[in-house]
């Protein structure tokens, strides 16, 4: 997998929820820095860590992001099928 393709997936998957690196980093960072409460500061520190990581370290997170993207696509297919068939109500969990 080339770096640009992996970065594209990671950015695209960030719209699906927290990225795997942010999830891992946030937990550790908050334990080590309990006085830091602003997500902006935590996010900035996470970005700095990401920028200093070797590609080999990032591969784990690219793989997780790819798995999450596949799960999202599968859920969207299911959602669209239900939406088209009229199975979804206004009070559905999908809305």
Query: Can you give the CATH number for the domain in which 41 is found?
Result: 1.10.30
Whether 51 is covered by a domain: the verdict is yes
In a domain, 55, yes or no: yes
* pLDDT by residue, tens only, the chain of 95 residues: 344 344 444 444 344 455 777 888 888 888 899 898 888 898 899 889 889 999 998 898 899 889 999 999 999 999 999 989 888 765 555 55
SS3 labels along the chain: CCHHHHHHHHHHHHCCCCCHHHHHHHHHHHHHCCCCCCHHHHHHHHHHHHHHCCHHHHHHHHHHHHHHHHHHHHHHHHHHHHHHHCCCCCCCCCC
Asked if residue 7 is part of any domain, the answer here is: no
In a domain, 30, yes or no: yes
Overall domain count for the chain:
1
The reply to whether 47 falls in a domain is yes
Q: Please give the backbone phi and psi of residue 5, each rounded to the nearest 5 degrees, phi first.
A: -65, -40
Q: What is the pLDDT of residue 80?
A: 93
Is residue 39 assigned to a domain? yes
Quick one: pLDDT at residue 54? 94
pLDDT at 23: 81
75 lies in which domain range?
21-85
Q: Would residue 8 count as lying in a domain?
A: no
In a domain, 11, yes or no: no
What pLDDT, on the 0 to 100 scale, is given for residue 93?
Answer: 56
């Amino acid at each position: 997998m080339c770096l640009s393709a992996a970065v594209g997936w990671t950015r695209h998957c960030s719209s699906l929820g927290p990225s795997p690196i942010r999830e891992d980093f946030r937990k550790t960072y908050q334990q080590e820095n309990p006085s830091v409460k602003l997500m902006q500061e935590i996010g900035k520190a996470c970005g700095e860590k990401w920028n200093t990581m070797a590609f080999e370290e990032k591969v784990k997170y690219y793989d997780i992001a790819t798995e999450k993207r596949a799960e999202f696509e599968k859920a969207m297919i299911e959602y669209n099928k239900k939406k088209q068939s009229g199975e979804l109500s206004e009070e559905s969990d999908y809305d």
